[in-house]
Amino acid sequence: MTINWGGVIPAITTSFNQDYSIDFAFFAEHCRWLVDAGCLGLVPCGSLGEGATLSAEEKIAIIETALNAVGERVPVIPGIASLSTAEAVWLAQAAESAGCHGLMVLPPYVYSTDWREMKAHVEAVMRATNLPILLYNNPPAYKTDFLPEQIAELAQENANLVAVKESSSDVRRVTAIRALIGERLEILVGVDDEIVEGMQAGAVGWIAGLVNAFPRESVTLFHLAEQVRTGQDDRAQLDALYAWFLPLLRMDTVPKFVQLIKLAQEMVGMGNARVRAPRLELHRAELENARRTIQHALEHRSGLDIA
């Protein structure tokens, strides 16, 4: 299956039962719901999927669940991250054997260092598989910053590196990468509250977070931004939807983004707020403030023109 990067691809959350085991039945339902809303793929086991709290065996079980739920409809592109390079390589090969269509490759958890070591890590994963690779650059979270010239070097030396998820929160990175390597890589926005600006700068897709609770709104926002970028529409409808959505999209950019997005899912009736430790659910003022923001959005979305 060829991956179409030009759309909304959720970084899907992981659903937990009351005992914090994985709720595979709901996870499969969630996968189908997102695809039914127009999403073009799924990225399980990433940061938003709480990949750091999942065992290797659980990750493979989640991947297999996603493949069984939607694998004939859209590509499944799991996040590949680990404390060690050896385990990351094993996960990549296991995901390929399971039938995945691509991989999102992250730097290692915890250990962040210089370019030589980070290059060796991601290249070991890339060269362990024939699948197309999406490189995930998220310096705020992983303390490793793949600079545009380093991304260009990786692309020149690794033919299966085909895309980059840019989450540095600096929209100028999109134009910098494009200036170095032209159309060689697809560039996707990985920070929710930068999607419109990122697309105007030349990004083609969105690895999205709030889509887990608001898929139709996310898909509509993406298509409106695409139409404005290509001159097919004016900004009025895009600006109205973006203004409504921004208080929610900003929840994707803070340390407790997993808790916030899962709370939003709970409030729209599509999931629950449970997270695995060391994360804890929101409480007191932070919970009330988040609820107030989400509730305000829910009360004012009826007037939006959503496809």
How far is 148 from 174, CA to CA, in rounded Å?
A: 9
Angle between helices 236-249 and 284-299 (to 10 degrees): 160
Question: What pLDDT sits at residue 307?
Answer: 66
How far is C-alpha 162 from the chain's CA centre? 16
DSSP state letter for 51:
G
Percent of the chain with pLDDT over 70: 100
Catalytic residue check, 143:
no
Instruction: Give percent of the chain with pLDDT exceeding 90.
Output: 93
The pLDDT of residue 247: 98
**Identified catalytic residue from 59, 142, 165, 262:** 165
Closest of 155, 85, 154, 148 to residue 113, by C-alpha: 85
Helix, strand, coil % over all residues of the chain, rounded to 5? 50, 10, 40
User: Per-residue pLDDT tens for 103-159?
Assistant: 999 999 888 889 999 999 999 999 999 999 999 999 998 899 999 999 999 999 999
The mean pLDDT of the chain is 96
Is omega for the bond preceding 278 within 30 degrees of 0, making it cis? yes
Distances (CA, A) of 20 to 56, 199, 251, 259, 280: 16, 37, 23, 14, 12
Phi, psi of 104 (to 5 degrees): -100, 115
Q: From 212, 175, 192, 246, select the one nearest 50 (Cα to Cα).
A: 212
pLDDT in tens, 24-81: 999 999 999 999 999 999 999 999 999 999 999 999 999 999 999 999 999 999 999 9
Q: Tell me, what's the pLDDT at 230?
A: 86
Res. 303: pLDDT tops 80:
no
Extract the runs of DSSP E, i.e. beta strands, from the chain: 8-10, 79-80, 103-105, 133-137, 161-166, 186-189, 205-208
For residue 63, the tally of other CB atoms under 10 A from its CB is: 24
- pLDDT value of residue 103: 98
C-alpha torsion 282→286→290→293, nearest 10: 180
Quickly state the pLDDT bin for 229 (edges 50, 70, 90). Answer: confident
Q: Which of 136, 142, 242, 262 is flagged as catalytic?
A: 136
Q: Tell me the per-residue pLDDT of 66-93, one tens digit each, with 9 for 90 and over.
A: 999 999 999 999 999 999 999 999 999 9
Is the overall model pTM greater than 0.95, yes or no?
A: yes
Residue 242 is among the residues annotated as catalytic for this protein: no
How far is Cα 132 from Cα 185, in angstroms, rounded to an integer? Answer: 11
Mean pLDDT confidence for 210-230: 96
DSSP state of 8: E
pLDDT band at 10 (very low <50, low <70, confident <90, very high): very high
Q: Given this model, what pLDDT does residue 206 score?
A: 98
User: What pLDDT, on the 0 to 100 scale, is given for residue 306?
Assistant: 81
Tell me which DSSP letter residue 45 carries. Answer: S
Domain segments of the chain as ranges: 8-237
8-237 CATH, one of 3.20.20.70, 3.40.50.300, 3.40.50.150, 1.10.150.120: 3.20.20.70
Q: Is residue 234 pLDDT above 80, yes or no?
A: no
pLDDT given for residue 304 in this prediction: 81
Residue 287 has pLDDT above 90, yes or no: yes
Residue 188 pLDDT level (bands cut at 50, 70, 90) = very high
